Amino acid sequence: MTPSSPSSSYRTLASFSRIQLLYFLQQRGTMTVGDLAEATGLHHNTAREHLQRLIGDGFVTCHPENKDSKGRPRMLYSAAAGPNHVDGSIRAAKAEAADRHGDQVRRMLRVEAVIHSPLQRQLDALDDHLDESGFDARLEIDGADGNRVHLHECPYSEMVKAHPEVCRVHFGLLKTLLERTEGPLSADALHPLVELNTCTLDLHRSDADPGVETGAAPTAPEQLKPAIIYHGVSGL
C-alpha cells in the first residue's frame, strides 16, 4: 500500500464510526470484524468498509488468524503500533515523508535548526499528523508550564461534545506517533477544550535526550521559546 493523500487523515478521523472502531481496538487490542460490529453496533459489512479505510491510512493493521483446521481463517484487526508491525510501514512512510519535507522547508527558509536529531524528527512527524488531521498547533518547549502543544481550532469539537472518547482516541494516536519515532518526547496527557476550541497536549522530554547526531550544532538557550510548528521550523 502507498500512503494516502495529505488531507485523508482528517477525512478518515472525521467519521465517528471509524473513531469508534479505533477506540475499541486501542482499548481491547486485537479483534475480529464480528467483535467490532457487536461492540459498535455497526453492520458487519459497514464495519469492514470502515476498517479498510483505517487500514489504508495506516491507523489499523490486519492479518489472518493462525489456525490448523481447514477453512478460511478469520481476519484479526489491531491498532497500528509501529513500523515493524504488519502494515505499519504506511505510518512509517508518512514519518519519513514528514522528515524529508521538514528538511526541505527549513533549507528553503534558511532556518538554522537541528535537522537530523531525534527531537526534530519527532516534531516533523507530529506536525504532519496534526496538519493532516485538521489542527492548528503551537509548540511550547521548556515554557512556564513545561513542554506542551496547544491545539487550536479542533475540527472534531462538535463530535467531542457528545462523544468524549474521541479525545482518548486522538491521544492514543499521538502517544503512539511519538513512541514510533523514538526521540526524547513522549505524550503525557491530553486536556480537551481547556479554552474555546483549544486543547493542550502535555509532553515529557526525557533527561536522557538522544540529542543531535554527530556534528550537529547544540540548541541555543534563547531558542527554547513558544513557536509555531511548521514542518519542524520551531527554533530547535
Which pLDDT score is estimated for 209?
A: 47
Task: Provide the 10 A C-beta neighbour count for residue 204.
Answer: 13
Please report where in the chains the cell 504488519 appears, as a residue: 86
Distances in whole angstroms, Cα of residue 169 to Cα of each of 26, 162, 213: 7, 14, 33
Q: Which residues contact 216 (CB under 8 A, 6 or more apart)?
A: 114, 115, 116, 117
C-beta of residue 58 within 8 angstroms of C-beta of residue 52: no
Which pLDDT score is estimated for 212?
A: 44
Task: Provide the 10 A C-beta neighbour count for residue 27.
Answer: 14
- Which of 85-94, 113-122, 127-136, 138-147 shows the lowest mean pLDDT across its residues? 85-94
Which pLDDT score is estimated for 137?
A: 85
Which pLDDT score is estimated for 2?
A: 38
- At residue 132, does pLDDT exceed 60? yes
Looking at every residue in the chain, the average pLDDT score rounds to 76
Residue type, 7: S
CA dihedral 199, 150, 94, 37 (to 10 degrees): -10
- At residue 69, does pLDDT exceed 60? yes
Residues in the chain, total: 236
Which pLDDT score is estimated for 101?
A: 59
Confidence of residue 169 (pLDDT cuts 50, 70, 90): very high
* b/e burial code for range 72-96 (CB count within 10 A of at least 16 → b): eeeebbbbbebbebebbbbbbebbb
The model's pTM is: 0.74
